[in-house]
């Protein structure tokens, strides 16, 4: 049982094996990259090898045109665009077989409020022939298949997001069934012929919300959700009958949670679970008894297992998983040799390898990244040792201009260890830098992991240190760290963030007079409460779609609809955030709206007009309250945006405003203290 403690390699970039331009990276240009280099859409997106690894499917774009789907023949090194549209962009896609692809569309650069179409569903051969429309893109569109005389699947039909068998014209897709209030009742699974459009619904055991295919690409596990309980159901291969495998509470500390990750090539079910320890590990599950095999297959000291299986049709090869960074761990000796060979060719990056379904296929896909290098894509030939570059996600970014990032840990005031990412500007000397504390949303999720991130690197390119704390309540670091955040909004969770600033000041990294706090969603809430609790610590705040009152999470009023599930409000929030009645006094003391008069620092507030996670009345009510006593408030509203910015022009506009705001208050343009 390997126990992993994964320290990051030093990732200072000496050369980049892409486009043959290592000399250009030797010295950083004096002018920082423009905002658009970080936040406009990438010209090179998703990449997937065909099951036989003879072809590579790529979602890409070019100036003045929509994202298209292209197929590269790796034997002839020729490319062909196989699908593109004038009124939509290619979205997700998957290989149905070595000859056929299934895909949907998206409206890139359109805010949720202006969105016209559902994703739809299409299939096409790798040479661009036999393009078939399978599902509608609108509720009121035509229902007949184009030239096929058949009824199209409804607009609420979606890609499953799993490889499947990849050996025929059939694929599994999902269909979401809504109740009368437009909440998800259950999710059906359909077996779809991608040439004829004929679909059969798989019998489901309950109100299923999720499905997992087995090693042969057949539905084998379904998860249902009722009130506060998740139940896993197993489908017997011989009879097709469903039986209950396990049940556990949907909310709370997760000590009994059982997360199925997938099936190995021999039919073994792998799960992430705790077996009495603080962190989850990778285990196998006895399908006969429903019991977890107690000996872990893989664990990482100090981290919950966060990843998935890497399999082909013949073998369980290994896993990809996240500790401080995302990487592979291989069980297969041959893949260990492939990893070593790729790492030798790309020594300055973390290289995540994705093999195709066919075991004897010659090529594997490589995603190479570091803190300074945005994801770059290669194909590696196992037989010849040839490494071919495919594309880069951010061609305008020059790694020599990027900041170095460290994964650190510091002690909170009560002794709890807080993990964090610290990014320092390129070429920064030891000394007192201005700093932005970036607080992640959720809050009961994990934030960023080590690697290139547009927000932190943009800020670093402007001369700011960036601290991203994994305050208590964050997931990924064990049950103690997670549960310590229960009912601690504005309290100990907030102290963890402040203690990170004091740690950085104590290390001599940060100028205590030039610190700004920023974040989105819960991070926006923490921004406002940071200004309330620690006015001496933060000189300004940037709230992005932030919660401004816990009570509003329970009830936004009749005119502001939230997409938070009712089950979460009834069973999850009272335990994890607080009870509206029992904790009313705490809610008032930790409500930014109620405490608005205590905030005197400059504020940047940004909200989306059609946000259903944190409806805009969070922003407008707080804005009106704080501006009664604080005139240093800048308000930004993007009417067509939701919970974050979808349109590239809004991304560029927002971060341009952030740059000006920070420069004025803690940057070079700030008044002397």
β 89-95/100-106 pair status: antiparallel
State the Cα–Cα distance between residues 103 and 332, nearest whole angstrom: 31
Domain check: are 521 and 597 in the same one?
yes
460, part of any domain: yes
Rg (CA), the chain: 25
Question: Which residues have CB under 8 Å from 528's CB, separation 6+?
Answer: 541, 543, 546, 548, 592, 599, 622
Q: Which domain holds residue 436?
A: 403-665
> How much is the pLDDT for 116?
82
Q: What backbone torsions phi and psi does residue 371 show, to the nearest 5 degrees?
A: -65, -30
Per-residue pLDDT tens for 189-223? Answer: 999 999 999 999 999 999 999 999 999 999 999 99
- E strand or H helix that includes residue 655: helix 648-665
The domain boundary, picked from 384, 400, 416, lies at 400
Choose among 114, 116, 86: nearest CA to 650: 114
CA 190 to chain centre: 26
Domain check: are 353 and 369 in the same one?
yes
> How much is the pLDDT for 7?
26
Domain check: are 390 and 407 in the same one?
no
Helix (H, G, I), strand (E, B) or coil at 56: strand
State the Cα–Cα distance between residues 243 and 260, nearest whole angstrom: 15
State the Cα–Cα distance between residues 121 and 533, nearest whole angstrom: 50
The domain boundary, picked from 400, 415, 438, lies at 400
Domain check: are 507 and 616 in the same one?
yes
β 633-638/603-608 pair status: parallel
95, part of any domain: no
State the Cα–Cα distance between residues 497 and 484, nearest whole angstrom: 14
Is the Cβ–Cβ distance between 399 and 373 less than 8 Å?
yes
> How much is the pLDDT for 82?
97
Is the Cβ–Cβ distance between 333 and 318 less than 8 Å?
no
> How much is the pLDDT for 611?
93
* Burial class of 534 by CB neighbour count within 10 A (0 to 12, 13 to 18, 19+): middle
The domain boundary, picked from 376, 400, 424, lies at 400
Tokens of residue 303, six digits: 């981290």
Instruction: Tell me which residues of the chain have a pLDDT lower than 50.
Output: 1-28, 147
> How much is the pLDDT for 22?
30
> How much is the pLDDT for 561?
76
State the Cα–Cα distance between residues 350 and 332, nearest whole angstrom: 19
> How much is the pLDDT for 13?
24
Is the Cβ–Cβ distance between 95 and 58 less than 8 Å?
no
184, part of any domain: no
Is the Cβ–Cβ distance between 413 and 499 less than 8 Å?
yes
Is the Cβ–Cβ distance between 296 and 1 less than 8 Å?
yes
Domain check: are 379 and 467 in the same one?
no
> How much is the pLDDT for 20?
31
425, part of any domain: yes
pTM of the entire predicted model: 0.92
Domain check: are 548 and 596 in the same one?
yes
Domain check: are 378 and 414 in the same one?
no
User: Left, alpha or beta for 158 (phi > 0: left; psi -120 to 50: alpha)?
Assistant: beta
Is the Cβ–Cβ distance between 426 and 400 less than 8 Å?
yes
Domain check: are 483 and 511 in the same one?
yes
Beta bridge partners of 73: 55, 78
> How much is the pLDDT for 183?
79
281, part of any domain: no
* Burial class of 186 by CB neighbour count within 10 A (0 to 12, 13 to 18, 19+): middle
316, part of any domain: yes
> DSSP labels for 193-230?
ETTT--EEEPP-SSSEEEEEE-TTS-EEEEEEEETTEE
56, part of any domain: no
Domain check: are 471 and 412 in the same one?
yes
Choose among 450, 375, 456, 462: nearest CA to 11: 450
In the chain, the number of structural domains is 2
Domain check: are 457 and 381 in the same one?
no
Domain check: are 445 and 514 in the same one?
yes
State the Cα–Cα distance between residues 261 and 281, nearest whole angstrom: 11
CATH of residue 464: 3.40.50.1820
86, part of any domain: no
> How much is the pLDDT for 386?
96
Domain check: are 562 and 629 in the same one?
yes
> How much is the pLDDT for 149?
64
């Amino acid at each position: 049982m390997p126990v992993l403690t994964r320290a990051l390699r030093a990732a200072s970039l000496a050369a980049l094996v892409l486009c043959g331009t290592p000399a250009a990276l030797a010295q950083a240009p004096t002018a920082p990259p423009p905002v658009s280099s970080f936040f406009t859409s990438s010209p090179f997106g998703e990449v997937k090898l065909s099951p036989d690894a003879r072809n590579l499917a790529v979602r890409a774009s070019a100036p003045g045109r929509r994202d298209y789907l292209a197929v590269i023949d790796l034997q002839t090194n020729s490319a062909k665009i196989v699908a593109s549209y004038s009124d939509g962009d290619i979205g997700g896609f998957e290989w149905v077989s070595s000859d056929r692809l299934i895909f949907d569309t998206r409206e890139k650069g359109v805010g949720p409020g202006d969105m016209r179409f559902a994703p739809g569903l299409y299939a096409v051969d790798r040479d661009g022939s036999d393009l078939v429309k399978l599902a509608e893109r609108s509720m009121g569109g035509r229902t007949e298949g184009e030239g096929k005389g058949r009824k199209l699947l409804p607009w609420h039909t979606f890609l499953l997001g799993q490889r499947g068998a990849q050996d025929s014209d059939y694929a599994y897709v999902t269909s979401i069934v809504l109740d009368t209030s437009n909440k998800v009742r259950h999710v059906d699974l359909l077996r779809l012929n991608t040439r004829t459009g004929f679909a059969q619904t798989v019998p489901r055991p309950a109100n299923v919300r999720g499905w997992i295919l087995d090693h042969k690409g057949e539905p084998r596990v379904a998860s249902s959700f009722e009130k506060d309980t998740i139940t896993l159901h197993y489908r017997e291969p011989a009879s097709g009958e469903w039986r209950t495998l396990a049940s556990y509470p949907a909310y709370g500390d997760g000590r009994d949670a059982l997360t199925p990750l997938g099936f190995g090539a021999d039919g073994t079910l792998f799960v992430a679970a705790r077996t009495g320890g603080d962190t989850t590990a990778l285990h196998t599950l006895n399908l006969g008894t429903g019991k977890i095999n107690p000996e872990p297959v893989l664990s990482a000291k100090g981290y919950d297992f966060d990843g998935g299986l890497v399999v082909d049709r013949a073998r369980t090869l290994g896993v990809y998983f996240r500790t401080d960074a995302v990487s592979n761990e291989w069980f297969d000796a041959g893949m260990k040799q492939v990893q070593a060979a790729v790492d030798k060719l790309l020594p300055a990056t973390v290289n995540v390898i994705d093999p195709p379904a066919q075991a004897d296929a010659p090529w594997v896909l490589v995603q190479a990244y570091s803190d300074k290098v945005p994801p770059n894509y290669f194909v590696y030939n196992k037989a010849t040792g040839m490494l071919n570059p495919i594309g880069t996600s951010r061609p305008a970014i020059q790694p020599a201009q990027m900041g170095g990032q460290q994964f650190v840990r510091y002690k909170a005031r009560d002794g709890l260890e807080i993990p964090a990412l610290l990014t320092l500007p390129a070429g920064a000397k030891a000394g007192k830098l201005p700093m932005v504390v970036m607080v992640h949303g959720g809050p009961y999720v994990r934030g960023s992991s080590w690697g290139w991130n547009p927000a932190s690197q943009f800020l670093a390119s402007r001369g700011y240190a960036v601290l991203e704390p994994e305050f208590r309540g964050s997931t990924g670091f064990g049950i103690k760290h997670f549960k310590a955040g229960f009912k601690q909004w504005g309290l100990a969770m907030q102290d963890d963030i402040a203690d990170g600033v004091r740690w950085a000041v104590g290390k001599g990294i940060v100028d205590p007079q030039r610190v700004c706090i920023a974040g989105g969603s819960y991070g926006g809430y923490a921004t406002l409460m940071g200004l309330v609790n620690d006015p001496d610590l933060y000189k300004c705040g940037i709230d992005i779609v932030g919660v401004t009152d816990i009570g509003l999470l329970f009830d936004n009023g009749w005119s502001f609809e939230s997409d938070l599930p009712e089950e979460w409000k009834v069973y999850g929030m009272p335990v994890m955030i607080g009870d509206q009645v029992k904790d009313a006094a705490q809610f008032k003391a930790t409500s930014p709206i109620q405490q608005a008069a205590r905030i005197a620092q400059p504020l940047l507030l940004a909200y989306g007009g059609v946000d259903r996670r944190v409806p805009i009345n969070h922003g407008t009510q707080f804005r009106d309250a704080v501006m009664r006593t604080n005139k240093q408030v800048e308000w930004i509203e993007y009417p067509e945006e939701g919970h974050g910015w979808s349109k590239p022009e809004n991304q560029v506009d927002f971060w341009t405003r952030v740059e000006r705001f920070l420069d004025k208050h803690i940057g070079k343009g700030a008044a002397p203290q």
